[in-house]
Amino acid sequence: MVRLPSGNCIRLQFAADTLLQCVCDHVDSIQPSLAPCSLLQTFPTRHFTEQDLRCSLQELGLTPNATLCVRPQEKPCSQQQRDSTLTDPSPEPVDSICSPDDLMAQGKRLMPIMGSPAHSVSHSFTIRDELPTTPQHTWGRGQILVHREQDGVEGEQAASQGTDLTPPVSRSLSPRSHQWPSNGVRLRPSDQSNELRSPGSPPAQPGLPNLRARMAAELRQESAERVPTVSRISRVSSVPSLHHLALQGALVLITAPSMQYSRSLSGLTPELAEFIVDHMIKERVLRPRTLELFTGCPIRSLTLNCYPYCTNDLIRHLRGFPNLRTLSLSSCTLITDHGLSVIQYLHKLQYLNLSSCVKLTDLCLVYLKGLDHLSHLVLDQTKVSDDGMYDFLVHSRCSLTHLSVNQTALTERTLNLMSHRIPDLKLLSIKNTQISDVSSLSELKQLHSLHLDNTKVTEQSLLAIRSLATLSLLSLSGVQSLTSDRVLELLSGLSLTRLVLPGRRCLTVNGLSYLRHLHLLVELNLTDHTHITDQGVQHISHLARLQVLSLCNTSVTDAGLLYLRGLRHVEELSLDRTKVTSRGVSQCIPTLPHLQVLGLSDTGVGDNVLKFGIRHCKNLLKVNLSRTRITNKGLRYLRAVSVVQLNLDGTGVTAQGVSDLMASCGSIISVRANNLRQIPTADVSDEEEEIR
């Protein structure tokens, strides 16, 4: 391989008896600009001489393969002096320090000379003060652009004056590189009538005022022609906090192999130890050796969700944390049943999350039997079955209150045992299972949350759970055997605070009429129920305690919003992809005193919704106005609202308008403004009339 001065590499193949001179000749033929060239071996470093060129590659030890670097040969000193004599027959005396003008004209590097401590820049020469906007450029050998003319008298007069024709500078220069100004500096006047002079000799004194005036005029013209750019306003400081610096220093001390920190960290407080461990997990530097350093520390919570280095060897050191109460190992796919045996020593454990640990089977439940304080158990997407759960529930000494077995192989056999072994169960989630009969759950008198999504539960078994007086949350999303209208009829009169209906196409106005009997509902999600009209919204108005309401992608219009004016406890209202306008929204939302989240994405609202509606909602924190007709004109009304997050994607605002908004509204933390568009004049805003 042959590496060129430009950094490019060329792979060449030669016979072992090929002379090194032939290799050089071949490189010269494919890269004529480098001829004649010499070769250099970097490791081990070796400079090939004229004698080496007559040796074969095998004799030089360059077989079977080697990497050579090409060095272009420089002209001999005598040849350079001859060329210099022909170019300039009467050269000026060269001082120990070349003038900056000469260096610029000859194309040599300026900064290694100016940055040397042994040399100082002449006070009569300054560099233009300009912010560097272009990357560093290394100037080549160059050549003189103007011809020298021998004019001894004028040259001596100009030299004696010491005229300064360059703009001043106010900042220091880097000792390593020179940042050239982006717009350049004119080195001579554009008027070609005057005699051209060498870069080393300044012009005569009489033309100086005109030259300076012309340069000043050109600079003013350049400044006027520059297009102002909108700078993004950033509210986040780039200076790291002392807390962050101390944390990074601790991580280096603990994890760096060169430190070999061998002391115990058991003396740390639980809060500090948990914070350091959590940060190590975030940075992916927690290893068995580093976790062992915290042995004996009273850590109470540890979350290793999705940690790629969570192995049996890592969790083996959990035995050193007997005070652990919360342990989450979700999506730790490398853990096996044998590795989970360490759990039996965590006698104070209360919360255990093993979801998506795909290698766990019924054998892992054996190690959980002795956990007397275990109350929360998550086994989603594991390989546990009825046999393992039956044995665990029969012999376990714990009293579970929260159990999640989503997407497992459990059947009604396990459900029938729950009412006898875990009567205090408060939350049960059996999503995506083959269970169809849940009538046995009617014996769980403490149950308040039941998730039956995507199961095969029947209407008859659903009637059985009507006796659960404490049930407050019921989720039936994706249940194909039930219709939304029938569910509302069956559950009418229950004390539910949240209800998720089975399907979006099986809810009609008749079904919504049963909502008046679910007067305790605080959250209702009717997204994508396209059959809901303004008449159906009329039944929602009876839910006086409603706090979260979603009507996205429904057939609701301005007329339906009038029925929502009495829901004074609503905190979150989503009207995305509906047919509402600025008039209807502005008449509704000011009557909702606790409104904090508002969604109006892809609706027909314009600037008037900000002027007559949103600016009167003093508690509003998050607003979604994406793909609406909002323009810069409406943004100024947001200054009266303490909005924290704002979505303006696909609106008619401009980058300058967003920048001005962030500068004037100090509460805004996040603004999205992607895919901005220009709205036609006829559709820019609503009618300029006050909405009453």
Give residue limits of the domains in the chain.
2-75, 260-398
Average pLDDT on 123-139 reads: 44
- Please report which confidence band the pLDDT of residue 397 belongs to, taking 50, 70 and 90 as the band edges: confident
- Please report which confidence band the pLDDT of residue 213 belongs to, taking 50, 70 and 90 as the band edges: confident
- Is CATH 3.80.10.10 correct for 260-398? yes
Q: Specify the higher pLDDT residue, 66 or 158.
A: 66
Tokens matching residue 564:
């929502």
Q: How far apart are CA 684 and CA 692, in angstroms?
A: 21
Query: What one-character DSSP code corresponds to residue 19?
Result: B
pLDDT of 609 strictly over 90: yes
Q: In this structure, are residues 624 and 576 in contact, taking their beta carbons and an 8 Å threshold?
A: yes
- Please report which confidence band the pLDDT of residue 639 belongs to, taking 50, 70 and 90 as the band edges: confident
pLDDT tens track for 9-27? 888 888 888 888 898 888 8
Q: Which CATH number fits domain 2-75: 3.40.640.10, 2.40.40.20, 3.40.50.11740, 3.10.20.90?
A: 3.10.20.90
- Please report which confidence band the pLDDT of residue 30 belongs to, taking 50, 70 and 90 as the band edges: confident
Burial of 692 (0-12, 13-18, 19+ CB in 10 A): exposed
**This model's pTM is above 0.85:** no
pLDDT of 237 strictly over 50: yes
Average pLDDT on 526-543 reads: 91
Residue 608 has a pLDDT of 94
Q: How far apart are CA 147 and CA 477, in angstroms?
A: 86
pLDDT of 234 strictly over 60: no
Q: How far apart are CA 501 and CA 505, in angstroms?
A: 11
- Please report which confidence band the pLDDT of residue 167 belongs to, taking 50, 70 and 90 as the band edges: very low
Q: How far apart are CA 655 and CA 648, in angstroms?
A: 11
**Weakest mean pLDDT among 85-94, 327-336, 486-495, 681-690:** 85-94
Domains 2-75 and 260-398 share a fold: no
Q: State in Å, rounded, how far the first CA of the chain is from the last one.
A: 81
pLDDT tens track for 257-313? 665 556 788 889 999 999 999 999 999 999 999 999 999 999 999 999 999 999 999
Q: In this structure, are residues 606 and 625 in contact, taking their beta carbons and an 8 Å threshold?
A: no
Say what percent of the chain tops pLDDT 90. 50
Q: Report how many helices (DSSP H) and strands (DSSP E) the chain contains, helices first.
A: 21, 21
Residue 142 has a pLDDT of 56
Average pLDDT on 548-572 reads: 95
Q: How far apart are CA 616 and CA 590, in angstroms?
A: 6
pLDDT of 169 strictly over 60: no
Residue 108 has a pLDDT of 43
Residue 31 has a pLDDT of 84
Say what percent of the chain tops pLDDT 70. 75
Q: In this structure, are residues 173 and 105 in contact, taking their beta carbons and an 8 Å threshold?
A: no
